[in-house]
């Protein structure tokens, strides 16, 4: 259990969620220069909130990296005629009347990582946040576990909705 917790306490500072999105977008485009498009769909009116920039970048990067790997893995095994361009969308919105950490929040921040990949395999869908569970050959199964841990440190939640052709990871964080 200690291996999956950060070695330093969170450093919560005023920040904008779009800093996280832009950093993740840059890293994904650098790591996967071919075959992946990362599209922005931002609510530019979102207010600042307090968070640990590095932890949130790591959480979103782990989710986006999984999406890119799934897209490229599916393209490598697909027939030549099925090669549509892989896309990841980073979407931000305000969520209203959300329960986080057993408290009703009037306003929360919602960040979605949406991809057009093959979807999470049905046999592991209920276990993807468990350590060492991976749908990818050679995967460590730690990325989503760490993402969930970092989001929980911000009193938020991570949810997944997946079917072939569309997977959405939804991170919800309190604004105040």
pLDDT at 132 over 80: no
* Average pLDDT of the residues in 22-36: 94
* Average pLDDT of the residues in 84-95: 93
Instruction: Determine which of 1-10, 16-25, 61-70 has the lowest per-residue pLDDT on average.
Output: 1-10
Task: Report yes or no: 111 and 156 within 8 Å, Cβ to Cβ.
Answer: no
What are residue 67's DSSP bridge partners? none
pLDDT at 133 over 60: no
Report which secondary-structure segment, H or E, holds 9. Answer: none
The values of phi and psi at residue 93, to 5°, are -150, 165
Q: Quick one: what percent of the chain has pLDDT higher than 90?
A: 61
CA distance 138 to 119: 18
Confidence of residue 2 (pLDDT cuts 50, 70, 90): very low
pLDDT at 140 over 80: no
Query: Where is pLDDT greater, at 3 or 36?
Result: 36
pLDDT at 150: 92
pLDDT at 78: 57
Q: Which domain holds residue 96?
A: 2-174
* Average pLDDT of the residues in 23-28: 98
CA distance 87 to 107: 29
pLDDT at 81 over 70: no
CA distance 21 to 90: 7
**Under the phi-then-psi rule, with left for phi > 0, alpha for psi from -120 to 50, and beta for the rest, what region is 119?**
left
* Average pLDDT of the residues in 29-35: 90
CATH number for the domain that contains residue 65: 3.30.565.10
**Cα-Cα end-to-end distance for the chain:** 29
What are residue 91's DSSP bridge partners? 41, 112
Average pLDDT over the chain, rounded to whole?
Answer: 86
pLDDT tens for 44-70 read 999 999 999 999 999 999 999 999 998
Number of domains in the chain: 1
């Amino acid at each position: 259990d200690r291996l999956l917790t950060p070695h330093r306490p969170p450093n919560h500072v005023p920040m904008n969620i779009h800093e996280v999105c832009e950093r993740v977008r840059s890293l994904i485009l650098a790591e996967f220069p071919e075959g992946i498009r990362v599209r922005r769909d931002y609510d530019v009116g979102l207010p600042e909130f307090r968070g640990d920039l590095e932890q949130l970048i790591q959480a979103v990067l782990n989710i986006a990296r999984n999406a890119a790997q799934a897209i490229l893995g599916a393209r490598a095994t697909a027939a030549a005629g099925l090669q549509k361009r892989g896309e990841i969308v980073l979407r931000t919105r305000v969520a209203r009347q959300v329960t986080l950490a057993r408290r009703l929040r009037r306003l929360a921040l919602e960040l979605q990582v949406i991809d057009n990949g093959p979807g999470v395999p049905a046999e592991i869908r209920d276990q993807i946040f468990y350590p060492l569970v991976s749908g990818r050959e050679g995967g460590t199964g730690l990325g989503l576990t760490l993402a969930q841990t970092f989001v929980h440190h911000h009193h938020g939640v991570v949810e997944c909705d997946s079917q072939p052709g569309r997977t959405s990871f939804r991170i919800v964080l309190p604004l105040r």
